Amino acid sequence: MSAVKVLVPGDHAMVSLLGTRDELLRLVEGAFHASILVRGNEITVSAEDADETERVARLFEELVLLLDRGQHLDKAMVKQTIRMIRADEGERPSEVLSEALITHRGRTIRPKTLGQKRYLDAIKANTVIFGIGPAGTGKTYLAMGAAVQALRSKQVNRLILTRPAVEAGERLGFLPGTLHEKIDPYLKPLWDALHDMMEAEELIAHVDRGTIEVAPLAFMRGRAQPVSEPVLTPEGWRPIGELRVGDAVVGSDGRPTEVLGVFPQGEREILRLTAQDGASTRCTADHLWSVWTRADRRRDEPARVVETRSMIGRLRAAFSRRFELPLLEGPVELPRRDVPMDPYALGLLLGDGCSTGTTTPGFATRDEELDAALELALDGVELRRRPTGDDTLVRQGGERGGVIVENPVTGVLRTVGLWGTRAATTFIPDVYLDNDAGTRHALLQGLLDSAGGPVTQRGRTCRIQYVTTSPRLRDGVVALVRSLGGVADVRTRAAAGRTRGLAGGRPVHHRSDADILEIRLPPELPPFRLRRKLARYEEHRSGRPMRFVDRIEPDGREEAVCIRVAAPDALYVTAGHLLTHNTLNDAFIVLDEAQNTTAEQMKMFLTRIGFNSKAVITGDVSQVDLPSGKRSGLRVVREILEGIEGVAFSYLQAGDVVRHHIVQRIVEAYAAHDAAQEAVGRATGTGSPDGHAPRDEG
């Protein structure tokens, strides 16, 4: 017979330790073959087996430590402590059961079993965590607690909570009610968990901001664009449907980023999103956008990620646009190509030159600084001023008579297709548009020095204005500005009905509509070289370029595809130089009831995980509700991903059930029954006794 004494400090601690009417003491006595005697603050434990004595003494010591750490002892906690002491798995119950995850309204969410503690440790240490176990083991609830804790501590910017929407073979389309009425029953467990962990006002604010998204898994698979929609690559614009894994597209920093995944989505309803500057692109309703509201900017908050459909009906706040879109952080980096004329000189000629083909090339300016710059940039050309004040661009040494030699300017203009164009038909050649940032910037400076200028207005920052009557030149200048990270708003002044202008003192009709471009460029890119214009621009300061969502409209149906890119922010450049993305960066993602995903759905979900994100996938492989012939994605993924670094599989057992004790017994009974059925099936080779093939537990 061995005996051990345990001293319990404080009268109140002893009362809490023994429980009301000694119910906790009786629970311990029934679990061990030992005699327990309580006198004052001293507990004496004696038993025939010295190991049994030591276990009971250690149990009381752990319970006292739990009390010291502010825990309230009840039957459930004492039972779990007994289970851990008996299992002797090297973990101290006082450490396992006192670890707090989050606290809300005085209630602390924490692991209640060793299995749950190891599950939370796996969530902290890995990127993708699979929590697999029977119902009642806290898989989903603890994952939700970890997600809320990560959001509050700013480890992530978003929570994405999802589960398969179709169980027991039902289809949403055949269920009555609105879309929300159809899906809410499936998502209710997730909403209930959130309400347990957040105040209603906080939860509503997060949902309105798009910080928390709760949706069926089927709604996560879209986030796509139609296959015909252009995406910018280092080689130019390509339809997104032509992209393949390993191709490069242009990211938000203007540099190439690799395509990591391409996921066809079938035929989908398409929307067109248009910004206030006229840039537009097409996408599905669940496609993702990074946006700021004015409140976000005021508080210096990071961009929020919202779905296209969530912005519909909310595009205005009072009299201003609500959602600001990101712009390129730097000019688009394209390969440098040889050009036949200095880009700045070509910009000057496009803005104020003469290339009609009916006379010698000319340059209509009275600015000596521009004259000198143009003559310096054009090899073999000199400027001769005509009586009208315009310049003629002639070949150096060229005189009347003798051998006819082509004017160098004429030759270049013929080469790029500009010879014979007039003010309403001129354009920017592709070799200049699809060139490196230095070439594009120099060309734009030439255009603005010759035919643009700074516009100042009291109470407003300085903006840049450029006017042209050529639709092709207008589109070229807009493309230049956007590719450099700027914004160009266009308004048109119709020729019809306008007051006559003056030419040589005589009134003349306006032949063509005039397009007026209001341009804003990033501060690091000066729009002018001409000193007087640049000085005025810098004196009055320029506001930063901004782009807002203006409208979202239906645009038919089309085959769609989504891509995943390697850029840290997951952004890529689509039509109109708009920045968009469809992967889940800086997010904590919980996929619940994952046993009801197909293998294809599981792959889709896992390949959407972006940078600085964490995904927890929970499920019970014994409760698969998929149609016959469909194998659970949760079972398949265990065969594929087990052993990969950063991926953890945490298995919870019947002993981790934290609901009513009868649930634990039911789970154990079913597990024993299934094991017996499978043993019979394997022994006979004919399947399980109920006539079905043995269950595949993965």
CATH of the domain at 596: 3.40.50.300
Rounded distance, CA 442 to CA 432, Å? 10
- CA 634 and chain centroid, separation: 25
Residue 142 has a pLDDT of 92
Q: What is the pLDDT of residue 144?
A: 92
Contacts of 68 (CB under 8 A, 6+ apart): none
pLDDT band at 530 (very low <50, low <70, confident <90, very high): very high
How many CB atoms lie under 10 A from the CB of residue 607? 14
- In this structure, the number of other CB atoms found within 10 A of the CB of residue 229 comes to 21
Query: Would you say residue 151 lies in a domain?
Result: yes
Confidence of residue 697 (pLDDT cuts 50, 70, 90): very low
Q: Hey, CA dihedral for 437, 442, 446, 448, is it positive or negative?
A: positive
| Contact criterion met (CB below 8 Å) for 639 and 632 | no
Identify whether 297 is part of a domain. Answer: yes
Helix (H, G, I), strand (E, B) or coil at 165: coil
- Cα–Cα distance measured from residue 43 to residue 286, given in angstroms and rounded to the nearest whole number: 63
Same domain, yes or no: 475 and 401: yes
Cβ contacts of residue 291 below 8 Å, gap of 6+? 303, 304, 305, 306, 311, 323, 324, 325, 326, 549
Residue 179 in any domain: the answer is yes
Provide the pLDDT for residue 470: 95
| Residue corresponding to tokens 């938000």 | 252
* Helix, coil or strand: residue 124: helix
Quickly list DSSP for 185-231.
HHHHHHHHHHHHHS-HHHHHHHHHHTSEEEEEGGGGS---EETTSEE
Mean pLDDT for the chain overall: 84
Q: Are residues 373 and 484 in the same domain?
A: yes
The pLDDT of residue 275: 97
Give, in order, the Cα–Cα distances in Å from 133 to each of 119, 620, 623.
11, 5, 10
502 part of a folded domain: no
pLDDT value at residue 611: 73
Angle formed at CA 16 by CA 13 and CA 21, multiple of 5 degrees: 130
Q: Are 474 and 367 members of one domain?
A: yes
For residue 335, the model assigns a pLDDT of 93
48, 75 Cβ separation under 8 angstroms: no
Nearest to 14 by CA among 77, 55, 82, 63: 63
What's the pLDDT at 257?
94
Selected residue with higher pLDDT from 271 and 627: 271
Return left, alpha or beta for 258; rule: phi > 0 is left, psi -120 to 50 is alpha, else beta: beta
How many degrees, rounded to 5, is the angle at CA 516 between CA 535 and CA 333? 70
Q: Residues 397, 540: one domain?
A: yes
pLDDT digits (tens, 9 = 90+) for 321-362: 999 999 999 999 999 999 999 999 999 999 998 888 888 898
Question: According to the model, what pLDDT value does residue 509 have?
Answer: 72
- What is the full DSSP assignment across 311-378? HTT-SEETTEE--EEP--SS---------SS-HHHHHHHHHHEE--SSS--EE----HHHHHHHHHHS
- Coil vs helix vs strand at 594: helix
Q: Indicate whether 121 and 267 sit together in one domain.
A: no
Q: Which residue has the higher pLDDT, 135 or 283?
A: 283
101 in Cβ contact with 146 (< 8 Å):
yes
Residue 688 pLDDT exceeds 60: no
Residue 433's domain is classified under what CATH number?
Answer: 3.10.28.10
Please indicate, yes or no, whether residues 418 and 479 belong to a single structural domain of this protein: yes
Q: What pLDDT was estimated at residue 180?
A: 47
Does an H or E element contain 162, and which? Answer: strand 158-163
CA angle 569, 573, 576 (to 5 degrees): 140
- Residue 80 pLDDT > 70: yes
pLDDT tens, 537-548? 998 888 889 999
Strand pairing class (324-325; 547-565): antiparallel
* DSSP reduced 3-state for 275: strand
Same domain for 143 and 163? yes
Mean of pLDDT values over 198-213: 82
What is the pLDDT, as a whole number, of residue 556?
Answer: 95
**pLDDT at 186 (0 to 100):** 65
* Mean pLDDT for the stretch of residues 580-595: 83
Bigger pLDDT: 472 vs 661:
472
Of the residues 98, 120, 146, the one at which a domain ends: 98
The CATH number of the domain holding residue 266 is 2.170.16.10
Instruction: Please name which of 665, 634, 590 lies closest in space to residue 79, comparing C-alpha atoms.
Output: 665
CA 368, distance to chain mean position in Å, is 52
Question: Is 214 part of a structural domain of the chain?
Answer: no
The contacts found for 664-670 with CB under 8 angstroms, 24 or more apart, are 664/136, 667/134, 667/135, 667/136, 670/622
Range(s) of the domain holding residue 440? 343-497+510-545
Q: What per-residue confidence (pLDDT) applies to 6?
A: 81
3-class state of residue 391 by DSSP: strand
Find tokens 């589109």 and name the residue. 475
pLDDT, tens digit (0-9, with 9 covering 90-100), for 144-180: 999 999 998 888 888 888 888 654 334 444 444 444 4
CA-to-CA dists, residue 429 to 53, 413, 473, 569, angstroms:
91, 10, 9, 33
Residue 68 predicted with pLDDT over 90 = no
**581 within 8 A of 587, measured Cβ to Cβ:** no
Domain boundary among 53, 69, 98: 98
* 477, 444 Cβ separation under 8 angstroms: yes
Residues 520 and 540 in one domain: yes
> Exposed (0-12), middle (13-18) or buried (19+): which is 59, by Cβ within 10 Å?
buried
pLDDT tens for 92-132 read 777 777 777 777 776 778 888 888 888 999 999 999 999 99
Residue 407 to residue 378: CA distance in whole angstroms: 11
Angle at 145 between CA 139 and CA 151, to 5 degrees: 135
Sorting pLDDT into bands at 50, 70 and 90, what band is 318? confident
| pLDDT tens profile 4-51 | 888 887 766 777 888 888 888 888 888 888 888 888 888 888 888 888
Q: Fill in the DSSP letter of residue 127.
A: S
Shared domain check, 180 and 51: no
Q: Coil, strand or helix: which one is 525?
A: coil
Residue 123 resides in a domain: yes
Q: Is the pLDDT of residue 58 over 60?
A: yes
| pLDDT above 80 for 286 | yes
CATH code of residue 67: 3.30.1370.10
pLDDT tens for 216-228 read 776 555 578 999 9
Same domain assignment for residues 516 and 598: no
pLDDT above 70 (res 488): yes
Contact criterion met (CB below 8 Å) for 78 and 23: no
Give domain status of residue 674, yes or no: no
Total domains in the fold of the chain: 4
Q: Mean pLDDT: which of 336-350, 356-370, 623-637 is highest? A: 336-350
425 shares a domain with 525: yes
Same domain, 198 and 105: yes
Which CA distances in Å does 537 have to 135, 461, 529?
Answer: 67, 9, 11
A 10 A CB-CB count for 244 gives 8
pLDDT at 171: 46
Tell whether 666 is covered by a domain. no
